[in-house]
Amino acid sequence: MSGKIPIARGVAVTEEDASRRGVIMSLMCNLSAQIEPGSFGEELRRLEPYIESGYVQYDQGVLSVDPSLRNQIRLIASVFDQYLPHTPEVYSRAV
């Protein structure tokens, strides 16, 4: 420590960070999110098992989650967290 009082702290948020945060918050709160067509392609591919099962729908830029999956919404929303490693060895599994 330099003995100086910090006047600014924090982490710079990029435009992509803000976009991802908006999608995650919208999914967690509303079980749906607006996603621009052509964006988040890799994330949507990871959601294919949910989409194929019919529990998640992606139509005309809106990603919607069936209310019966509310207990799994953290898993679904975590797909959009770019800072969360998507390897099963890192974090405990959701029950």
Question: pLDDT per residue over 41-51, tens digit each?
Answer: 999 999 999 99
Half-sphere exposure (Cβ direction) of 85: Cα atoms closer than 13 Å: 6
Per-domain residue ranges of the chain: 15-78
Q: What is the pTM of this model?
A: 0.79
Task: Assign 92 a pLDDT band (cuts: 50, 70, 90).
Answer: low
What six digits make up the tokens of 72?
Answer: 């799994």
Helix (H) or strand (E) holding 33: strand 32-34
**Mean pLDDT (the chain, rounded):** 87
Are 33 and 62 in contact by the 8 Å Cβ rule? The answer is yes
User: Is the pLDDT at 88 greater than 70, yes or no?
Assistant: no
CA distance 32 to 62: 7
What does the pLDDT read at residue 12? 84
**What CATH number does the domain located at 15-78 have?**
1.10.10.920
